[in-house]
Amino acid sequence: MGKRLGFVGVIIEDRSKQAKEVNMVLGDYAKIIAARMGLPYKEKNCSVITLIVDATTDELGALTGKLGAIEGVSVKSALSKGK
- Specify the number of domains making up the chain: 1
pLDDT digit string (tens) for 6-44? 999 999 999 888 989 999 999 999 999 999 999 999 898
Q: What is the pLDDT of residue 16?
A: 84
CATH number of the domain residue 14 falls in? 3.30.70.1150
Q: The pTM is what?
A: 0.91
CA–chain centroid gap for 77, Å, is 8
**Beta-carbon-side half-sphere exposure of residue 34 (alpha carbons within 13 Å):** 11
Domain residues for the domain of 36 are 4-79
Other CB atoms closer than 10 Å to residue 22's CB: what's the count? Answer: 21
- Measured CA to CA in angstroms, residue 36 lies from 1, 53 at distances of 24, 9
